């Protein structure tokens, strides 16, 4: 599922998105505390360095399968100054 983290009144909220627009030739960065993918219905524990395929479904391009590499929890979280 596509989720987006947003701050509202000093509280972080995670909102599910039904879709997102990606313009031709645009780069979309998925990251913690922003737009990210949430893996649902996992059948096993994710461990660092594991890989698994996911299929992204696009309106015009159809399904595009990419490999996901599991990182350590918090590995890509932004650090505070």
User: Cα separation of 73 and 81, whole Å?
Assistant: 20
What's the confidence (pLDDT) of residue 78?
Answer: 56
Q: Is the pTM of this model over 0.75?
A: no
What's the confidence (pLDDT) of residue 64?
Answer: 92
- What is the Cα 17 distance to its own chain's centre? 11
Q: Consecutive sets of 10 residues in the chain, 81 residues long: mean pLDDT of each?
A: 89 88 86 84 89 89 91 67 51
What's the confidence (pLDDT) of residue 36?
Answer: 87
User: Cα separation of 7 and 30, whole Å?
Assistant: 17
């Amino acid at each position: 599922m596509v989720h987006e983290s947003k701050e509202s009144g000093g509280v972080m909220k995670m909102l599910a998105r039904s879709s997102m627009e990606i313009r031709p030739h645009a780069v979309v960065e998925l990251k913690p505390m922003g737009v990210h993918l949430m893996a649902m219905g996992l059948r096993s524990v994710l461990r660092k360095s594991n890989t698994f395929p996911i299929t992204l479904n696009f309106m015009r391009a159809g399904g595009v399968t990419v490999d996901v590499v599991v990182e350590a929890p918090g590995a890509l979280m932004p650090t505070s100054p």
